[in-house]
Amino acid sequence: MKRRDILAGLGAGAVAAGLTACAPPGSGPAASGGTGEVIRWKMVTTWPPGFPGLGTGAANLAKLIGELSGGRLQVQVYGAGELVPAFEVFDAVSSGTAEMGHGAAYYWKGKSEAAQFFASVPFGMNAQELNAWFYYGDGLDLWREIYEPFGLIPAPAGNTGVQMGGWFNKEINGLGDLDGLKMRIPGLGGEVLRRAGGTPVNLPGGEIFTALQTGSIDATEWVGPYNDLAFGLHQVARYYYYPGWHEPGTCLEAIFNADAFNALPADLQSICTNACKVATQSMLSEFTARNQQALETLVSEHGVELRRFPDEVLARLRALSEEMLDEMAAADPMVARVHGNQKAFQQGVTSWHEISEEAFYRARSL
């Protein structure tokens, strides 16, 4: 998820927002959590505090852990830049500077190329399917294996649901319309666009509006109606395309310092992992509710023109995605394991969803 972007808006505003409480002396990874003892943790995040859906999701997770533990485990949340910069969250939790972090796994491809497969994959699984893979397939085990050498324990802790395809100032009627298109679209999706003849650009969220307004980019994706409306992207682009083929259900992550987590009594460990499950469902519910409200505002109040990518374009992007993923798997043994496992699970769940979710969606709109 794209949230490298989010960091953008951060800076001063994030710091000024003021969640910078001081951790009490003596708090730290070694706390044992005996009777009556209050354990205080720090959670560093890649989001501005209070950023809709994502920053608030991290804050809700921290609050939930405090409530479920009856106050025995209290987690102080730090926005990006308040304790460490956004992209140092992984290292900060790994080293024990903070006991916990919240971000997205595709930020850490520099640590492991395979990490990004735990956030979102073009034409991959949606939120429901991805969670099934994590908890009832091999997903979480593989993820833990990859983070283990870093002294980290990961957990899904949020999901945006299917994102939007993005904002354009010209219609996309065929593959030729992607040729030469300069679009802000990070990560795996950006690489697919490049293979389709476009020019992917990676910009932080806070720079998107101006870049599109001045014409330094032709198009952009961000998240979905809830977040895109907040950025005012409808003011600088006419067409709003769907579906978000590149991010079909982006998973946010919680990471725990392994020493700190393992020092917790079993009930607090269970509270942490189960609070992450609640956070995932809660964020998905929030995005589902807010996206539909924001979409109505965009279309009925701001005159945004919704467009669906033509089948020809989607089919080509899908073929290019598969080609890219196979090449990545051939180049990295861990990517090969993760992608192979994910692909097999996706094929199975697709067979089931064709006659369940998908068939029902169709039936509902007859």
Please report, to the nearest 10 degrees, the dihedral formed by the alpha carbons of residues 318, 287, 240, 354 taken in order: 40
Q: How far is the CB of 106 from Ca ion (least distance, A)?
A: 10
Q: How far is the CB of 164 from Ca ion (least distance, A)?
A: 8
The reply on whether position 234 binds Ca ion by CB under 5 A is no
Q: How far is the CB of 37 from Ca ion (least distance, A)?
A: 42
Q: Choose the stretch contacting Ca ion; rule: CB under 5 A; options: 162-170, 206-214, 224-232, 287-295.
A: 162-170
What is the x/- site pattern for Ca ion, positions 192-231, by CB under 5 A? -----------------------------x----------
Report yes or no: 87 and 237 within 8 Å, Cβ to Cβ.
no
The Cα-based distances of 146 to 133, 165, 243 in angstroms read: 16, 30, 30
Residue 39 β-bridge partners: 73
Q: Choose the stretch contacting Ca ion; rule: CB under 5 A; options: 127-135, 240-248, 296-304, 326-334.
A: 240-248
Whole-number Å distance between alpha carbons of 218 and 204: 16
The distance in angstroms from the start CA to the end CA of the chain is 33
Strand order in the sheet with 73-78: 73-78, 39-45, 100-103, 251-257, 152-159
Q: Which is nearer to Ca ion, 43 or 208 (CB)?
A: 208
Q: How far is the CB of 157 from Ca ion (least distance, A)?
A: 18
DSSP state of 297: I
Q: Choose the stretch contacting Ca ion; rule: CB under 5 A; options: 63-71, 120-128, 243-251, 294-302.
A: 243-251
Q: How far is the CB of 189 from Ca ion (least distance, A)?
A: 8
Q: Which is nearer to Ca ion, 174 or 232 (CB)?
A: 232
Q: Choose the stretch contacting Ca ion; rule: CB under 5 A; options: 113-121, 134-142, 163-171, 207-215.
A: 163-171
Instruction: Give residue 77's Cα distance to chain centre.
Output: 18
Q: How far is the CB of 270 from Ca ion (least distance, A)?
A: 32
Q: Which is nearer to Ca ion, 185 or 272 (CB)?
A: 185
Q: Which is nearer to Ca ion, 106 or 256 (CB)?
A: 106
Q: How far is the CB of 190 from Ca ion (least distance, A)?
A: 10
Number of chain residues interacting with Ca ion (CB under 5 A)? 4
**Nearest CA among 233, 230, 234, 279 for reference residue 254:** 279
Nearest residue to Ca ion by CB is: 2
Q: Choose the stretch contacting Ca ion; rule: CB under 5 A; options: 227-235, 247-255, 257-265, 351-359.
A: 247-255
What is the x/- site pattern for Ca ion, positions 16-55, by CB under 5 A? ----------------------------------------
Q: Which is nearer to Ca ion, 153 or 181 (CB)?
A: 181
**Which residue type is seen at 176?**
G
Q: How far is the CB of 1 from Ca ion (least distance, A)?
A: 6
Q: How far is the CB of 184 from Ca ion (least distance, A)?
A: 9
Q: Which is nearer to Ca ion, 40 or 307 (CB)?
A: 307
Determine whether 300 is exposed, middle or buried from the number of CB atoms within 10 Å of its CB (0-12, 13-18, 19+): exposed
Report yes or no: 154 and 147 within 8 Å, Cβ to Cβ.
yes
Report yes or no: 106 and 154 within 8 Å, Cβ to Cβ.
no
Q: How far is the CB of 247 from Ca ion (least distance, A)?
A: 5
The reply on whether position 2 binds Ca ion by CB under 5 A is yes
Report yes or no: 136 and 293 within 8 Å, Cβ to Cβ.
no
Report yes or no: 18 and 79 within 8 Å, Cβ to Cβ.
no
Q: Which is nearer to Ca ion, 247 or 286 (CB)?
A: 247
Torsion angles phi and psi, residue 213, rounded to 5: -65, -40
Please report, to the nearest 10 degrees, the dihedral formed by the alpha carbons of residues 209, 211, 213, 216 taken in order: -160
Binding interface with Ca ion (CB under 5 A): 2, 163, 221, 247
